[in-house]
């Protein structure tokens, strides 16, 4: 009741000149973009600065990042349940403010740890970085991303894939240019100043946007998903209901969802992408240097990847409302395998660079669609926060292992190929498993005749 009491503050979404769900797409997309400082894409640009300022090794930094990210992943199911209970605005404000405070801490970390740096107290520095990365990843990659994405999901139903496709396009573009933007910010204000600028944007200004424009569910304001009116909802005929391609027969709880085989296939596929892509992104300059290629190629590779991802996202978003989602999973797995092969052969063949662009473009473009559409279609909207929190725990856990896996591969074998082949084998296996990742709602409908 408390949530509904202020659902129309400071204005009623129903009084907007058009369906407010389209505005929700804008604010939700902005929320995901604001999580970039807590994403590997946002941390990787600062990696070399941290190494130089804290006087630690790449393996030690990767180890702290891995432990912090793993720790944050175990907190996400709780955050998902908190979102289900409190709603979008309180949870998003807490995440944005928390992320801003951690960025302020990071902007001054070399001064705060100067005594340990002088004493070469590496263990104490790594433990501090672990706690820092735990909160950075929890608030950024975890909570702010979950809340922003779930808010958009709640406002659309039958047009969910089509609507969120527009969000995915802008998010993909923003993520692709973020390394170049952050690099420019560092050049202008130093790496410490760049974190301060982001802290002010995320932790001070964005909470105002959340309070004013974010909304939890259309039903809290007397509206319905997709912009339908209550009269239209009541007038839906039995004939029209039969035309719904993917009806929700059962609202799954989180406990029921994690006992379902398709949940694991989809979640592990997304977690595997997080592992591979964060490992590649975190060490992207080193990957290209090891292949004998310049830093400029490493920094700018994300732009052509984003162009392909945008096209894939638009097409996949349109067709996702009409086809089984496991078909998209096949293409996602195939794209990932191509991208990984590109990393493996980057230094030996000219086509390795282009395989990375094409493969990663398909992989990231389809991730944006599947991460948005899968959970409500397969398991309903009632326990969406808890279910997506379980999935995000696995995704964040995977992202924790990626940087360390790539770093160890280079340390032990002098090349990133070992980590590449391991990622390829797992991804290929998951792609085969996707053939059995059927929608549980369809299975229930068939059982009921």
Can you give the CATH number for the domain in which 285 is found? 1.20.1250.20
What is each CA distance from 218 to 6, 13, 392, 421, in whole angstroms?
13, 8, 24, 46
DSSP state of 163: H
Q: How confident is the model over 383-406, as pLDDT tens digits?
A: 888 898 899 889 888 888 888 899
Say whether 293 sits in a helix, a strand or coil. coil
Is-above-0.85 flag for pTM?
Answer: no
Q: Cα separation of 57 and 52, whole Å? A: 9
pLDDT in tens, 18-49: 899 999 999 999 999 999 999 888 888 898 88
For residues 57 and 50, what is the distance between their CA atoms, to the nearest angstrom? 10
Total domains present in the chain: 1
Name the residue among 50, 53, 49 with its Cα closest to residue 64. Answer: 50
CA distances from 161 to 164, 267, 371, 408 (A): 5, 18, 11, 39
Residue 4 has pLDDT above 80, yes or no: no
Rounded Cα distance between 367 and 275, Å, is 13
Look at residue 162 and tell me if it is in a domain.
yes
Under 8 Å between Cβ of 338 and 358: yes
Instruction: Give the CA distances from residue 11 to residues 16, 17, 212, 220, in Å, rounded to whole numbers and listed in that order.
Output: 9, 12, 8, 13
| 241, part of any domain | no
Q: Give me the pLDDT at residue 119, please.
A: 86
> pLDDT of 144-172, one tens digit each?
998 998 899 889 877 777 777 788 888 88
Per-residue confidence (pLDDT) for residue 234, from 0 to 100? 46
Question: Exposure string (b/e) for 296-318, b if CB count within 10 Å is 16 or more?
Answer: eebbebbebbbbbbbebbbebbe
Name the nearest CA neighbour of 430 among 275, 280, 264: 264
CA-angle at 206, arms to 131 and 134, nearest 5°: 10
Please write the tens of the pLDDT for every residue from 276-322. Answer: 998 998 888 889 999 998 878 887 888 899 899 889 988 998 888 88
For 181, the domain range is 21-217+251-434
- Better pLDDT: 314 or 421: 421
Ramachandran region of residue 242, left (φ > 0), alpha (ψ -120 to 50) or beta?
alpha
Nearest to 317 by CA among 273, 270, 274, 368: 368
In a domain, 267, yes or no: yes
pLDDT tens by residue, 338-386: 999 999 999 888 899 999 999 999 999 998 789 888 998 999 888 888 8
The pLDDT of residue 229 is 64
- Residues 383, 184: Cα–Cα separation, whole Å: 41
185 pLDDT higher than 80:
yes
Cα 224 to Cα 30, 167, 385: the distances in Å are: 23, 20, 19
Cα gap 382→172, rounded to integer Å:
28
Under 8 Å CB-to-CB from 109, ≥6 apart: which residues? Answer: 50, 53, 54, 128, 132
Query: Looking at residue 169, what is its pLDDT?
Result: 82
Across 85-101, average pLDDT: 95
b/e for 389-425, b at 16 or more Cβ within 10 A? bbbbbbbbbbbbbbbbbbbebbeeeeebbbbbeebbe
Residue 444, in any domain of the structure? no
How far apart CA 353 and CA 350 sit, in angstroms, is 6
Domain annotation covers residue 284: yes
Q: How far is CA 122 from CA 90, 108, 113, 117, 279, in A?
A: 38, 18, 11, 7, 23
CB atoms within 10 A of CB 85: 12
Q: What is the mean pLDDT of residues 325-329?
A: 95
What's the confidence (pLDDT) of residue 6?
75
Q: Strand, coil or helix: what is 94? A: helix
- Residue 422 pLDDT > 50: yes
- 3 state SS of 19: coil
Query: Is the model's pLDDT at 89 over the cut of 90?
Result: yes
pLDDT, residue 3, reads 56
Q: DSSP H helical segments within 204-324, as ranges?
A: 206-213, 230-234, 238-242, 254-257, 261-282, 284-290, 295-300, 302-320
pLDDT digit string (tens) for 243-261? 567 788 899 999 999 999 9
Is 210 inside a domain boundary? yes
Q: How far apart are CA 398 and CA 383, in angstroms?
A: 23
Amino acid 131: pLDDT: 96
User: Given this model, what pLDDT does residue 385 score?
Assistant: 83
Return the CA Rg of the chain: 22
Position 350 scores a pLDDT of 85
172 contacts 309 by C-beta, under 8 angstroms: yes
- Can you give the pLDDT at residue 421? 96
Contact 297, 346 (CB under 8 A): no
* Closest-CA residue to 151 (of 138, 140, 133, 167): 167
* Per-residue pLDDT tens digits for 203-248: 999 999 999 999 988 988 888 887 776 555 544 444 444 456 778 8
**Is a pLDDT exceeding 70 seen at residue 271?**
yes
**How many C-beta atoms lie closer than 10 Å to residue 234's C-beta?**
7
Which pLDDT belongs to residue 337? 97
What does the angle CA 7 – CA 12 – CA 16 come to, to the nearest 5 degrees? 135
Please report which confidence band the pLDDT of residue 1 belongs to, taking 50, 70 and 90 as the band edges.
very low
Contact 168, 313 (CB under 8 A): yes
Q: Is 365 exposed, middle or buried (0-12, 13-18, 19+ CB in 10 A)?
A: buried
Assigned domain for 6 exists: no
């Amino acid at each position: 009741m408390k949530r509904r009491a202020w659902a129309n503050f400071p204005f009623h979404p129903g009084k907007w000149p058009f369906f407010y769900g389209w505005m929700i797409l804008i604010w939700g997309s902005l929320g995901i973009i604001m999580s970039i400082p807590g994403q590997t894409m946002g941390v990787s640009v600062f990696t070399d600065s941290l190494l130089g300022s804290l006087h630690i090794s790449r393996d030690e930094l990767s180890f702290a990042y891995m432990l912090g990210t793993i720790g944050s992943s175990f907190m996400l199911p709780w955050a998902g349940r908190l979102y289900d209970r409190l709603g979008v605005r309180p949870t998003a404000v807490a995440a944005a403010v928390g992320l801003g405070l951690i960025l302020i801490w990071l902007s001054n970390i070399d001064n705060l740890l100067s005594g340990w740096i002088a004493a070469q107290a590496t263990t104490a520095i790594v433990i501090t970085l672990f706690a820092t990365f735990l909160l950075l990843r929890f608030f950024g990659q975890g909570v702010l991303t979950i809340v922003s994405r779930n808010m958009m999901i709640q406002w659309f139903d039958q047009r969910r894939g089509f609507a969120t496709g527009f969000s995915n396009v802008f998010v993909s573009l923003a993520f692709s240019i973020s390394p170049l933007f952050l690099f420019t910010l560092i050049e202008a204000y130093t790496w410490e100043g760049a974190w301060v600028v982001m802290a002010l944007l995320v932790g001070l200004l964005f909470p105002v946007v959340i309070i004013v424009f974010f909304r939890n569910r259309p039903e809290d304001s007397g509206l319905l998903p997709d912009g339908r009116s209550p009269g239209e909802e009541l007038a839906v005929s039995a004939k029209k209901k039969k035309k719904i391609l993917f009806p929700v027969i059962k609202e799954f709880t989180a406990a029921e969802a994690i006992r379902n085989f398709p949940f694991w296939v989809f979640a592990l596929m997304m977690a595997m992408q997080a592992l591979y892509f964060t490992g590649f992104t975190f060490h992207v300059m080193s990957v290209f240097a090891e292949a004998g290629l310049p830093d400029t190629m490493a920094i700018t590779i994300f732009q052509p990847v984003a162009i392909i991802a945008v096209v894939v996202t638009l097409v996949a978003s349109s067709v996702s409302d009409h086809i089984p989602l496991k078909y998209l999973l096949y293409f996602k797995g195939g794209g990932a395998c191509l991208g990984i092969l590109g990393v493996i052969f980057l230094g030996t063949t000219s086509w390795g660079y282009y395989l990375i662009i094409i493969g990663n473009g398909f992989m990231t473009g389809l991730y944006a669609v599947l991460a948005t559409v899968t959970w409500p279609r397969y398991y309903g909207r009632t326990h969406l926060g808890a279910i997506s929190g379980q999935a995000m725990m696995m995704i964040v856990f995977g992202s924790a292992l990626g940087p360390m896996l790539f770093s160890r591969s280079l340390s032990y074998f002098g090349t990133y190929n070992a980590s590449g082949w391991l990622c390829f084998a797992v991804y290929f296996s998951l792609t085969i498993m996707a053939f059995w990742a059927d929608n549980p709602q369809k299975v229930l409908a068939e059982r009921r005749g």
